[in-house]
Amino acid sequence: MAARTEGLSARDAVALRLRGGSPDWAGWLLEAGLLLSLLVAVGILFVLVGDTLVKAFPVLAERPLDFLTSTVSARAPRAGILQAIIGSLTITLIVAALAIPIGIGAAVYLEEYARDSRSSRLIRTNIRNLAGVPAIVYGLLGLAVFSTALGLGSVLLAGGLTLAVLVLPIVVITTSEALTAVPESIREAAYGVGATRWETIRSHVLPYAAPGIFTGTILSLGRAFGETAPLLMVGAIAGTFSFVGAPWEQMFEGYTTLPTLVYHWAGYPQAEFRALGAAAIIVLLGVILVVNATAIILRNRYDRKW
Amino acid sequence: MTLTTRPPAATDGEQPIDEGRTIRLMSAQQVDETEQSVPAAADERMPMRFGDDEIVFELNDVSCYYGTFRAVRDINLQVPKNRITALIGPSGCGKSTLLRSFNRMNDLVDTAHISGSIRYHGVDLYDGAVDPVEVRRRIGMVFQKPNPFPKSIYDNVAFGPRIAGYRDSMDELVEQSLQRAALWDEVKDKLKSPGTALSGGQQQRLCIARAIAVEPDVILMDEPCSSLDPIATLKIEELMRELKLNYTIVIVTHNMQQAARASDYTAFLTMGEDRAGYLVEMAATDELFTRPANRITEDYITGRFG
């Protein structure tokens, strides 16, 4: 702004400076650009969900309950997702039972027990890398180790084990972060009154880190619930899930899950099956929305200030 | 060689707290009688002798290291019982490091180690057979920043005794500890509310109550008033004068007026060319502040330092 101020009184000079500015075009343009980015991101999401809802509408409107409680069928009007729901829930349970305790244990060891050495840093870095490995690689690993080497074959248990391995690094990382967020001064306070390391961890560090750990593990379960590719490698296929025998026997049966069923139905040429797929997607999205919302509510509720 | 264990807060039905108090009161009176002779011995200041005073800590050629860096070098000093001994000196001269080696708090830092010997009632604290957990139970600590557990006021105080296996009336012990920390009247109606909701000065007194609840022998204070306002500071100093009847107190402070007001003996440390802190002189507090033996001490206490 090049307002000329020579020869003016101080008062006039100030008035000229303060009032004589031109609008901030560059700033306005930047703001518009940023808003546009947001609209594109949200817009795409809306279009995707909207399109799916429209496609799923016939199924969800005509037989919402029947769709949830029917089994997989080659005849579209009778096909449902009961087996997929049971398969997905069982696999999530296997993941929870394995990945959560092992992951939390590993993180507690890394953060609270291991000395800060070259090898512990190397392990930490590698766990971060593992969390970024494409899911299909875990599928190959599951196929090689659980299905083939351990001889499990294409069964529910192999799928659960594979996904447990997949989310393990995520559980370790989120737990580590929750543990490091507990200030050192709290540990010192506990040690200062004669607590042992384990007493300090059990009575203070773990309880204070618990909200963060819960949030992280719930999100990782959501990830397991929606995972598709690795399960295709370890034999999740549509329709061979039987209801014969006790639950532990079904662990060694064929299985299907919600996302793999969606994948399967999407391959059919008939529009009826694509409508079924869309309806299954809506169910899947609903479950994941509930899972993520739970995590957010937990985090906000127990958010701690030090 | 192990520490002779004083029964940690009573397994017999008696009231060990009052017992301990009377015993210590007697010795405090004895100390008072001999105090007059202290200035006479002050010429021979390194290490300072305390006549008939019982010695709690005796440091011989103590150097503290972080990895290869020597933070404190060749400290020789003694800490008398039922006295307040202040460690003063410029920032970074290793006062806190030295203090944290008194109860092996620095064990928690992977790279920290010491050379020389720290004898506590004649027992080498760094002897392999000494249990650092028991050391910290007998030598309590109050930290620079108030660090109450994010738990109730009651649980803050009760945690130490609980892990020490105290099974008598916890309510009584909590009340007694809070009273001795001059906090009881302010919190007696809200023992279930979180300790973190108190004001800074109250939090620090809660930390003192937590420290004395496990009936330690010594209380180490690491700049306990540095985050408090002047009124809260005076309250803590008043409290220290009461506590010294029962406990030996070692306090690190940045505040020379505080050392002059509150302590019986003062040790002045400064940093050498090698960035390692060393002891310049130790004397009765009045002596050190009115007739320092060393030029560096004089420069520091008169504010002509660095």
pLDDT score of B40: 38
Confidence of residue B162 (pLDDT cuts 50, 70, 90): very high
pLDDT surpasses 50 at B47: yes
Query: How many cross-chain Cβ pairs, A to B, lie less than 8 Å apart?
Result: 69
Q: Is A303 on the interface with B (CB under 8 A)?
A: no
Question: Which pLDDT does position B6 carry in this prediction?
Answer: 40
Q: How far apart are CA B217 and CA B121, in angstroms?
A: 11
Task: Tell me if A204 and B210 make a contact (CB, 8 A cut-off).
Answer: no
Q: Which residue type, as a one-letter code, is found at position A269?
A: P
DSSP H or E stretch at residue B270: strand B265-271
Among A113, A120, A185, A193, the strongest candidate for a mutation testing the B interface, having the largest count of B CBs within 10 A, is A193
DSSP letter assigned to residue A24: -
Chain B within 8 Å of A12 (Cβ-Cβ)?
no
Most A CBs within 10 A among B6, B141, B163, B218, hence the mutation to make, goes to B163
- Spans of chain A below 70 pLDDT: 1-5, 236-249, 303-306
Burial A159-186 (b: 16+ CB within 10 A, else e): bbbbbbbbbbbbbbbbbbebbeebeebb
For chain B, give the mean pLDDT.
Answer: 83
Handedness of CA A180, A183, A186, A189 (dihedral sign): positive
pLDDT for res A241: 59
Give the E-state strand segments of A63-174 in sequence order: none
Model pTM score: 0.80
CA atoms within 13 A on the CB side of A306: 12
pLDDT tens-digit profile of B188-218? 999 999 999 999 999 999 999 999 999 999 9
How is residue A133 annotated by DSSP? Answer: S
Contacts with A186 from chain B: Cβ below 8 Å:
147, 149-150
What pLDDT sits at residue A301?
81
Range B292-300 average pLDDT? 89
Q: Which residues 143-162 of B have a C-beta within 8 angstroms of A?
A: 143, 145, 147-150, 159-160
Instruction: Name the residue among A115, A186, A192 with its Cβ closest to that of B140.
Output: A192
| Collapsed DSSP state (helix, strand, coil) of residue A148 | helix
Q: What is the pLDDT of residue A240?
A: 57
CB contact under 8 A, B134 and A199: no
pLDDT of amino acid A207: 92
Give the residue from B184, B177, B294, B199 showing the smallest Cα distance to B243: B177
All residues at 6 or more sequence positions from B160 whose CB lies less than 8 Å from its CB, including other chains: A193, A194, A195, B137, B210, B211, B213, B214
The token pair that represents B95 in the structure block: 């006062």
C-alpha torsion angle, residues A249, A250, A252, A258 (rounded to 10): -160
Query: So what's the pLDDT on residue A63?
Result: 85
Q: What is the pLDDT of residue B16?
A: 41
Could you tell me if B137 lies within 8 Å of chain A, comparing CB atoms?
Answer: yes
- Helix axis angle, A271-301 relative to A258-266, nearest 10°? 150
Least CA distance to A114: which residue of chain B? B110
In this complex, which of B110, B143, B210 lies closest to A188 when CB atoms are compared? B143
Give the B window 212-241 contacts with A, CB below 8 Å.
Answer: 213-214
Categorize the per-residue pLDDT at B306 as very low, low, confident or very high, splitting at 50, 70 and 90. very low
Complex-level ipTM beyond the 0.90 threshold: no
User: Which chain B residue is nearest to residue A117, measuring alpha carbons?
Assistant: B110
Q: B84-88 and B265-271 as β-strands: parallel, antiparallel, unpaired?
A: parallel
Q: Please name the residue that has the structure tokens 């009760």.
A: B158
Residue (of A177, A163, A277, A143) closest to A223 by Cα position: A163
Strand order, beta sheet including B112-120: B123-124, B112-120, B55-66, B69-80, B277-284, B265-271, B84-88, B248-252, B218-222, B139-142
Query: Which residue, chain included where needed, has tokens 């959560």?
Result: A100
pLDDT at residue B126 greater than cutoff 70: yes
Count of helix runs (H) and strand runs (E) in chain A: 14, 0
Cα of B50 to nearest chain A Cα, Å = 28
Reading the block at residue B63, the tokens are 């150097």
How many residues make up chain B in this entry? 306
- Contacts with B160 from chain A: Cβ below 8 Å: 193-195
As a whole number, mean pLDDT of residues B280-302 equals 90
B164 part of contact set with chain A, CB < 8 Å: yes
Per-residue pLDDT band at B39 (split at 50, 70, 90): very low
Of B20, B230, B147, B302, residue with least CA distance to A188:
B147
Question: From the CA of B276, how many Å to the nearest CA of chain A?
Answer: 24
Q: Take residue B151 and report the two structure tokens written for it.
A: 């738990």
- B34-38 own/partner pairs: CB under 8 Å, 24+ apart: B38/B284, B38/B287
Whether A186 contacts chain B with CB within 8 A:
yes
Min Cα distance B161 → chain A (Å) is 8
**Per-residue pLDDT tens for B60-112?**
999 999 999 999 999 999 999 999 999 999 888 999 999 999 999 998 888 99
Binary contact (A193, B213; C-beta < 8 A): yes
Residue B18, pLDDT above cutoff 80:
no
